[in-house]
Each structure stands twice: as C-alpha cells, then as structure tokens.
Structure 1
Amino acid sequence: MRWRLALLVSAAMTLVLLAFLVPLALLLRGVAADRAVSAAMTQAQSLGVLVATADAESLRLAVEQLNADTRRPVTVYLPDGTTVGPAAGRTPGVVLAARTGSFSVEHEDGREVLVVVQGLAQGTAVIRVFVPLAELRQGVTRAWLVLALLGAGLLAVGVAVADRLAVMVVRPIRSLATVSDALVGGDLDRRAPATVGPPEVRAVAAALNQLAARIRDLLRHERERVADLSHRMRTPMTALRLDAESLRDEADAARILAHVAALDRAVTAVIEDTRRERDLPTCDATAVVAERIRFWKVLAEDQQRRVDTRLPDAPLPVAVSAADLAACVDALLGNVFAHTDEGVAAAVALDTRRVLTVEDAGPGFDPSASTRGVSGAGSTGLGLDIARRTAEATGGSLTVDRSPLGGARVTVTLGPLTEP
C-alpha cells in the first residue's frame, strides 16, 4: 500500500508538472526566437538609414563592419541589381519583399528577416538579415534543463512527502495486522494502539481491542463452564468406585477400579486443560498415539480384533496438546470399536509427514456422520468433529474415504510445528 500511494502521487504530480512545464518550455523557446528576430529587425532598420542617405562606399564599409561584429549575415539588395554584403542570390523572399514590404521567412536552418527601404531614386532596396537556428534557440537548452531539474526536484519532494504520509497510514495498519495475527495465535492479551494513525485507523484499533476483550471474556466463561461440567462428573465416578469396591470378584473389582481411575485422570486433565491458557501447545505425536493404542489394545484382545500399527521410530513433535491429540485418537478408535462387529480388524498409522490414519475392515459408515451432531448409529456424532477440530487447530485437515481393508478410513493431517 505504501508503494501504491507513492506511485499514485508520482503519477498525479507528473501529469501536473507536464501540464505546467511543457507550455512554459514552448513559451521560452518562442521568447528566445522573438528576441533574436527583434534584434535582427533593429539591426536591419538601423542599416536602412545608411541605405537611404550614404554613398555606395560608405554603405559597403558599414555592411562589412556589421557582418564582422555579428553572427547574423547581412546583405543589401539595391534597386539597380547590385548586392552589398555576402554574395547571395535573390531568394523568393527578397523578390516578394521588394513588392509587398517587410516580413520574415522561416527556414529549416534559421529565419530570414527582410526589411524594405523605399523612396530611393532607382526604386526599392531590400535588407536581408539571416538569423541562424542556433541563435533562435540560444539559451533554450539551458532553460529547459533548469525546468527539467526543477520538475524532478518537485517530483522527488512530492514523492518523499507522500511516502511519509503513507508511512503514517500504513504503520498503524501493520500494527493492527500484527495484533490480529497474535490474537489468531491465541495471545488474547495483545492490544492495538488506539492513539496512533488517522481517526479511521484509531476507530478500527479500538473496535479490535473491544473484540479481543470480548473474545477473552467469552472464552474464560466457556472454560469455567466446561470445568464445572467436568467437575460434576466426579460424583457419579465416586459412586461407581464404591460399587466396584463392593464386588466380590477381586479381579473384576481391580479392573473396574483401574478404569475408574483412568476416567478420573481424564476428567482432571479436562479441568486443568480448560483453565490453562496455552500459547503454543506441543506434544510428541509418536508417544501419544502409541500410549492410546496400548490402551485400546486391551479391549481389542478381548474382542479378538487385530490392530495393526505403524509408527515412526523417532519422536514427532506436533502443534497440539497431548490431551487434545489423545482425545482425537480415542474418538477415532472409539468409532471403530463402537460401530463395527467384534473381530473386525483395524489399523493405525502415523508417518513423519504428521498424517494419522485410522481404518477398519467394517462396512463403512454414512458420509453424513462427518457432520457435527449427526450419527447414523445412535451416537452423539461428535467423534469425527473432535478429530476435525484437532486437525484444523494445527492448520491441518480431516478426510474420510473408503479403506483398502473394506471399511472406513479417516485421515487426520496435522499442521507443521511453527515457532511463536
């Protein structure tokens, strides 16, 4: 925008300067030509007195002296056909002037000034002064150069002033863009300076600050609501723990208590996660996915499911928290276990491109299941939406298609890890 404003001002000033300087340059050229012609006319008229009163010898000496002192050739054409001065044939202008009177004739290499002396005994004499082109344009080149330098200087000053004005406008806008990027990155404490720039930019900055404050308030309120909702789950979990402890079969009791403990840890993690302000969450995707696969393999063994896994050999950092990535994996594997028959095989793969793939050998599912809150199997329909939001939070995406195993294949592409 800064360079566009400078270019716009340059174009406008160039048009104005051309409209002013070009006519002025032409006027200067005309003034220089008129000055040279006027000097030649004065010279010829002063010589006309000698033509009318002096003898032939005096006239010859005067013409020779005049030609020696000036660059304008002077020739006198007498009525008897003789010529005084540089030898020159009678031009059409000389012949016409002897009949009509004084005037000037434009030529390619200069201008011919013709002055008629009448009242002589033999007839009419014509004085011819030729003004060369160099004299007609004497000083014009220098004047044009001065005008060009003046125009260039004015243009440079105009562009410099326009650039400063553009900076005054663009700098606050860039500040707004920086604050907007910070807000997108989760830094809701950033604010734009509302006292810098034109009134319109200050108004936008004030509105952006109000929007950021409102978003922060709404987010805090939502986090507290989620934390409260998660806290309410502790009461039924306590009752479930008491029921598990009252079981006679110690193995079943231990197994259920382990599940209750895992659920309690998950609820605690949800409460802590909703109340924690995160600038740039990261985790090792390899470790998180491997840990969730180990969790689900216990149920897979009970259902006689084969779960093939393919994970990177090294840590794979991703721009998402471990809790969010674990919830994503649990949602996808939970769909497999909930919507396919026991014994149906599944596969989980994570490659170094940060692409997580979960597929099964079941019948597949209705494409409408990818819509939030819509399920064709009687569930809440939030599983795929959780995975999608996790992917989109990192700048990635989620796709659903048919698996080579015969069932559904869900591909979650996680965005690259960027520095704050």
Structure 2
Amino acid sequence: MRRWLALLVAATTSLVLIALLVPLALLVRALAESSALTQATAEAQSVAAAVGTADVAGLTLTAERTSAGSGHAITVFLPDGRVAGAPAPRSAAVELAARGQSLTAETPAGLEVLVAVQGVPGGTAVVRAFLGENDLHRGVREVWLGMLLLGLALIGVGILVADRLALALTRPMSGLARVSHRLAAGDLTARTTPGGPAEVRDVGLALDHLAGRISDLLAEERETAADISHRLRTPLTGLRLEAESLADPREAARLGARVDALERAVTSVITDVRRRSREQASCDAARVVSERVTFWSVLAEDQGRAARVRVPPEPLEVAVSAAELSACVDALLGNVFAHTPEGAAFSVRLEPEAGGALLEIADSGPGFRPGAGPPVERGTSGGGSTGLGLDIARRTAEASGGSLALDASPTGGALVVLRLGSPR
C-alpha cells in the first residue's frame, strides 16, 4: 500500500506541476524575448540620436561602444549607401525601414530591430540592432533548470509526506495482522496496540473484544468439562462398586477392566478439551521417549521382540507436553504389539532436526494393508482396530507445528515418521 500511495502522489503532483510549470516556462520565455527586444530598441534609438550630428567614424565608434555594452551587433545604414558599425547585409527589411518606417523583422539567424532616422541629408538612415537566439533567450535555460529542480523537489517532498502518511496507516494494520495470526496460532493473550486512524483503532478494539470473547468461551468450556468429569465419575464409581461386589471373581475382574477403560476414555476426553484451551507446552522428548520405550521393553522381552533404540543423550525440547507425547508414543508402540506377530522386531529412533525433532517407529510386521483407506483417518483402520492410535499421533504432531508421515520400513513393515516442532 505504501508503494501504491507513493506512486499515486507522484503522479498527481507531476500532473499539477506540469499544468503550472509549462505555462510558466512559456511565460518566462516570452518575457525574456520581450526584455531583449526592448533593450535592443532602446540601444538602436540611442545610436539613432547621434546619426544627424556625427560622421561615419563617429557613428562607428558610437555603435561599437553601445554594442560592447550590450553584446548586440549594431549597424547604421546611411542614405548614401555607407555603413557604420558592425558589418551586415542590406536586407529587404532595411530597404523598407529606409522609407521612414521603424519595424522589427525575423530572419533565419535571429531578429532585426530597425529604427528609421529621418531628416538626414540625402534621405533616411536606418539603425539596425541584431538579436540572435542566445540574445533572445538569455537566462531562460537557467530559469527552466531551476523550475525543473523545484518541481522534482516538490515531487520528492510529496512522496515523502505520502510515505509517512501511508506508514501511519499501514503500521497499525500490520500490527492487526500479526495479532490475528497469533490468535489463530492459539495465543489468546495477544492484543492490539491502539494507533492509526479512528477506523483502524475501531478494528483493533473489535479484534481485542473478539479475542476476549473467545477466551471467555474457552473458559466456559473448561468449566463445562470439569463439571462433566464430576458428573461422570460418580456413576463410574457406582459401577466399580457393583463390579467388585460380584460373586464371580473373573466376572468382577472383567467388568472392572471395562470400567477402568471407560474411566480412562472419559479422562482422555476431558484432558483433550482442557488442553485445547491452554497455552502450548513443551517437554524433553529424549526423556519421554526413553521412559516409554523402557516401559514397553518388558513386554517386548516377554514376546521375544528385538528392539533397537536410538535416543540422543542430551535433552531435546519439543512443543508438546510430556503427557501428550507419552500418549502418542504409547499409541504407536501399542499398534506395533497389537498388529504384528510375536517375535517381530521394532525400532525407535529420535534425533534433532532443523526446527524440532524427528521420531521414527518402524517394525518388521506385515505393514499397512494396501487399499484399506487412509490409516490416519479417525475411526478408520485396515487392521480391525478403532483407528484412533495414528490419529492421536497425527494430532500431537500437528499441535506442535509438525507433521505425520507413513511409509514402509526397510524390512517391509510399517514406518511411522513424526516431525515435532520446537518451542517458540
């Protein structure tokens, strides 16, 4: 916008200056010509006053002195054909002036100012003052150059003022854009700084009001989630007591496991709702991945699975909470144990990369079934599962600013690649 406003002001100022300076330049040219003509006429008349009282030598001396002071060539044509002063041809205009009429005539080389002097013995004498192009337009180029420089300076000042005004308009608008991007990224504390025209300030206040309203709605959502958790835990506690009171221990254990699963699902939903309303968290991915791999290694040893683990010894911060990353790793390793045969090896590799971390989990199982649909689509799976494990991993990666990719491992099994963003 700043560039377009500067171009608009430059074009407008140029048109105005052209409309003013072109007529003014022509007027300066006309005034210079008029001034030169008046001066030449006065010089010719001063020489004409001496025509009747001086001889040819005296007239020549008077003409040369006058010409030296003004720079105009002055010639006196006497009635007997003699010429005094600067040599010049006897033109048709001179013959016309010799009849007793003073005049001004144009020639290819300039302008002739002819003054007829009557009462001279033998007829009428003619005093000629010649003005060349340089004489007619003396000083005009310098004035035109000054006018051009003045016009360019005015255009520059206009562009500078327009740029300052545009900056006063675009700077608060750019601030509004930055605040809107921060709000879109989840930073609900972002607020605008009042500035700029009244309309822009009104937009900033409206954006602040919208951000405050969003924060209030999310706070209400958190309260609602907390209320739901209290309401659901009471019947779950009752179900757990009912299950424990069954006479059959196996049946009681089975129902208790179902109640535990339901309670974990409710807790996961409530945690997810609350997480979306909080600011972005961070954790040490190396520590979390090591802990989860250590947890699953016990089951891997029981099933005879070879596990290759490569985790950096130094901390590796990622933009996701430790609980979310733990749930993500558990979901992916749980898929390995659930959808590959016992004894199938797997590997876990975590390493830093530009902008975050790279987490790869590969196995030597059957891999992803071809034609079974997108495995990361929520509720869709080609292996008879709920399809939620990879969806959890995808949402975790995207929440950190990263991504999830699926491929085939070097051994033909499944390869899950997570890119986790680093904290801001």
Sort the TM-score into its range (normalised by shorter chain). Answer: 0.7 to 0.9
Aligned to 2:360: 357
Find the counterpart in structure 1 of residue 319 from structure 2. 319
Partner of 2:93: 97
Q: How far, CA to CA, are the matches of 2:64 and 2:288 in structure 1?
A: 112
Q: Could you tell me how far 1:402 is from its partner in structure 2?
A: 1.6
- C-alpha contact 2:373 2:382 (8 A) present in aligned 1: no
1:220 deviation in Å? Answer: 2.8
The 8 Å contact of residues 97 and 114 in structure 1, kept in 2 or not, is answered as: no
1:314 aligned counterpart, secondary structure: coil
Does structure 2 conserve the Cα–Cα contact (< 8 Å) formed by 1:230 and 1:271? no
TM-score, normalisation: structure 2: 0.79
Structure 2 residue runs of 5 or longer lacking an equivalent are 98-102
1:40-79 matched pairs, under 5 angstroms? 40-48=40-48, 51=51, 53-54=52-53, 56-57=55-56, 59-60=59-60, 62-79=62-79
Q: Which shows bigger deviation, 240-249 or 24-33?
A: 240-249
What is aligned with 1:81? 81
Shift of 1:295: 2.2
Matched letter for residue 104 of structure 2: F
Report what 2:404 is aligned to: 398
- The C-alpha deviation readout for 1:135-180, integer Å capped at 9, x for no partner, is 4334435533543454344334423432332232123213313322
Aligned residue-pair number: 403
Deviation at 1:118, TM superposition (A): 7.7
Query: Which string of whole-angstrom CA distances, capped at 9 and with x for unpartnered residues, describes residues 73-109 of structure 1?
Result: 21112343311112x241xxx423134553333666x
Change (3 A) 1:238 1:264: farther
In 2 relative to 1, CA 83–145 (structure 1 residues): closer, same or farther, beyond 3 Å? same
Query: Does the C-alpha gap of structure 1 residues 244 and 349 become closer, same or farther in structure 2, counting only changes over 3 Å?
Result: farther
Counterpart contact for 2:218–2:277, Cα < 8 Å: no
Shift of the alpha carbon at 1:36? 0.5
SS of the residue corresponding to residue 168 of structure 2 reads: helix
Q: Which residue of 2 aligns with 1:175?
A: 175
Superposed, 1:258-269 pairs within 5 Å as: 267=267
1:294-313 matches, cutoff 5 A: 294-313=294-313
Residue pairs, 1:327-342, within 5 angstroms: 327-342=327-342
- The answer as to whether partners of 1:97 and 1:116 remain within 8 angstroms in 2 is no
State the one-letter code of the partner of 1:202.
Answer: R
Partner amino acid, structure 2, of 1:412: L
Q: Give the alignment's Cα RMSD to 1 decimal.
A: 3.9
Using the TM superposition, give the Cα deviation of residue 355 of structure 1 relative to its aligned residue in structure 2, in angstroms. 0.6
SS at 1:81 equivalent: coil
| Identity rate, percent | 46
Q: Is the 8 A contact 1:269 1:323 kept in 2?
A: no
SS in 1 for 2:334: helix
- Asked whether the equivalents of residues 179 and 192 of structure 1 are also in contact (C-alpha less than 8 Å), the reply is yes
Q: Cα–Cα, structure 1 residues 69 and 346, in superposed 2: closer, same or farther, change >3 Å?
A: closer
Give the counterpart letter for 2:359 in structure 1.
L
Shift in alpha-carbon separation, 1:342–1:131, aligned structure 2, 3 A: same
**Which stretch shifts more, 397-406 or 132-141?**
132-141
Structure 1 residue 305, shift from structure 2 partner:
2.9
**Taking structure 1 as reference, are residues 153 and 21 closer, same or farther at Cα in structure 2, changes over 3 Å only?**
same
Amino acid at match of 1:211: L
Gaps (5+ residues) in structure 1? none
In structure 2, C-alpha distance between the alignment counterparts of 1:235 and 1:227, rounded to whole Å: 15
Taking the aligned partners of 1:351 and 1:343, their CA distance within structure 2 comes to: 26
Kindly report which structure 2 residues correspond to 1:10-409, keeping only aligned pairs within 5 A, or say none. 10-48=10-48, 51=51, 53-54=52-53, 56-57=55-56, 59-60=59-60, 62-86=62-86, 88-90=87-89, 94-100=90-96, 102-105=103-106, 111-115=110-114, 117=116, 125-193=125-193, 196-228=195-227, 232=232, 236=236, 267=267, 271=271, 274=274, 278-353=278-353, 354-363=357-366, 364-365=368-369, 366-409=372-415
**1:263-290 CA deviation, whole Å, 9 max, x = no partner?**
8799499649927964441100001111
